[in-house]
Amino acid sequence: MLVVIDPVAAAQVTVQTPLSKHHTAVEFVRPLLGSKNLVTMEGKEWKMWRGIFNPGFSSAHLMSLVGRMVDHTVLFTKILDEHAAKSTLFELEDAATKLTVDIIGDVTLDTPLRAQTSDNELVQAFRDQLKWMPLPTEMNLFRKYNPWKFIQHRINAGVMDRYLEKLLEERFATRRQDEINHGSSKRAKPIIDLALDTYLSETQQSRTATLPAPFKRSAIDQFKTFLFAGHDTTSSTACYIIHLLNQHPQALEKVCQEHDEVFGSDTAKAAQAISDDPFILNRLPYSMAVLKEVLRLRPPASGVRAGQRDVIIELDGKRYPTEDCMVWPASYPLHRRPDLWPDADEFIPERFLVQEGDPLFPVKGAWRPFEQGPRNCIGQELVYIELKIFMVLTLRSFDIQAAYEERDRITGKDSSALTVDGDRAYQVLVVTAKPAGGYPAKVTRRLR
């Protein structure tokens, strides 16, 4: 393995000559995402499907879907209110995951998955599939080669594919009816509609009475990919926003002050203000800086690539052949290099607000939680919007605190020794990086 923790070297294998995904990564995610997903596609096939889905993930189009995201986040705050009223212990990561799943279902397929309020067949199968996916580094041979794992993979994949095929067919029928009614629906188009428009245009097909089979197959796998990304990245970042701001109350106060200045001190009016004018979210520079600093310190994911004979990394006068290597541009150590990031282990959102020339100003290419180059994360704008809405609607109203000690008392297990740098909310690899133990929490209404 060749671990890359330098921005210049990382650019050589992700931007200048983007290496293909390593076969172990492809094989690992196939049971979960299928074979036609943007994570593992390569070459012309990847370029085609990335182009098909790009319009739906543009910042301009996502802004038209903000009202939907607000509605789901308001429901999330009501659930927090219930936890506060009952003083219940709950896992914040699980609650945030259900929120992101609801948002993804709505903005991509115009479908209410209702993960926050009920059990959902798709979500259950998806999460069960995750449980049956031991990491490539798994040393327990029974867990790694358990024959029931492969049977369960097929069962869960079948459940997910049939569920999504039904949703796609229903959405296509709704779309056809809307065309017959000359666009009577006033709702903004979900991402899947823009993708289908682009697909039909690029394949030079006129209006069709049936959903094209190639589009259906790829769309099913792409939706599972978007669900996976939100399930495993946005939700964990939401937890770390809460956690790191709790550890840095001065930064929390600055965020709340910014929200007061933009939305007014009446927190009950913020949701409607965002729905009425989604672009108001662009007036939150400090909140965005906090979000970026959280992603620097707690990047949720990275990927491995396959070296090539003709790709040799050149750095500081040395040459590093990549042939036969698993090449890993590793964001976590890169984000904490003290020669690139002053006070690298400290939480300093201001480093994303200063001007070039300031010692805190980030080195070009050193911040890469979504990777860079043509294979960067297609959904990063959605992540920014989701999490800014999450911050605005929760931080001033709720005090959410980690409750690891209380869970220890309830379970009778003392896990206090399980820390990293004294922090019990360290990241653990569960397909992607998540807060240990699901971030057990208690919440109270904030008095301001």
Provide the mean pLDDT of the chain: 92
| Residue whose C-alpha is closest to residue 73's, from 440, 392, 340, 447 | 392
**pLDDT of 20 strictly over 60:** yes
Q: pLDDT confidence of 137, banded at 50, 70, 90?
A: low
Predicted confidence (pLDDT) at residue 84 exceeds the cutoff of 80: yes
Q: Is the pLDDT of residue 383 over 80?
A: yes
**Phi then psi for 197, rounded to 5 degrees?**
-55, -45
Q: What is the mean pLDDT of residues 216-235?
A: 87
User: Looking at residues 61-74, what average pLDDT do you find?
Assistant: 97
3-state secondary structure of 327: strand
pLDDT at 433: 86
Contacting residues for 45 by C-beta, under 8 A, at least 6 apart: none
User: What tokens does 62 get?
Assistant: 């996502």
pLDDT at 182: 63
- At 435 the three-state DSSP class reads strand
Angle made by CA atoms 87, 90, 93, in degrees to the nearest 5: 140
- Give the span between the Cα atoms of 76 and 366, in whole angstroms: 34
Cα 411 from chain centroid (whole Å) = 31
Sign of CA dihedral 359, 363, 364, 367: negative
User: Residue range 115-137: average pLDDT?
Assistant: 85
pLDDT at 231 over 90: no
Residue 430 has pLDDT above 70, yes or no: yes
**Which whole-number Å values give the CA distances from 7 to 15, 17, 58, 158, in the listed order?**
11, 14, 26, 41
Bridge-based pairing state of the strands 2-4 and 427-430: unpaired
What percent of the chain is predicted at pLDDT more than 70? 97
Q: Higher confidence at residue 127 or residue 3? A: 3
Query: Using 50, 70 and 90 to split pLDDT, how confident is the model at 187?
Result: confident
Q: Which of 158-172, 251-265, 268-282, 383-397 has the lowest mean pLDDT?
A: 158-172
DSSP assignment, residue 431? S
Select the more confidently predicted residue: 31 or 339.
Answer: 339
Instruction: For residue 82, give both structure tokens.
Output: 């219930």
Lowest pLDDT segment from 203-207, 238-242, 274-278, 428-432: 203-207
Q: Which of the four pLDDT bands, split at 50, 70 and 90, describes residue 9?
A: very high
Whole-model pTM?
0.94
Phi then psi for residue 297, to 5 deg, are: -80, -30
Q: What is the mean pLDDT of residues 246-263?
A: 98
Distance (Å, whole) CA 316 – CA 322: 16
Which amino acid, one-letter code, is at 245? L
> Tens of pLDDT along 156-182?
999 999 999 999 998 888 887 777 776
Share of the chain above pLDDT 90, in %: 75
Sequence-distant (≥ 6) Cβ neighbours of residue 166 within 8 angstroms: none
Single-letter amino acid code for the residue at 334:
L
Q: Give the three-class secondary structure for 304.
A: coil
* C-beta neighbour count of 141 within 10 angstroms: 9
The C-alpha atoms of residue 346 and residue 348 are separated, in whole angstroms, by 6
Mean pLDDT score, 200-229: 86
d(CA 162, CA 233): 25
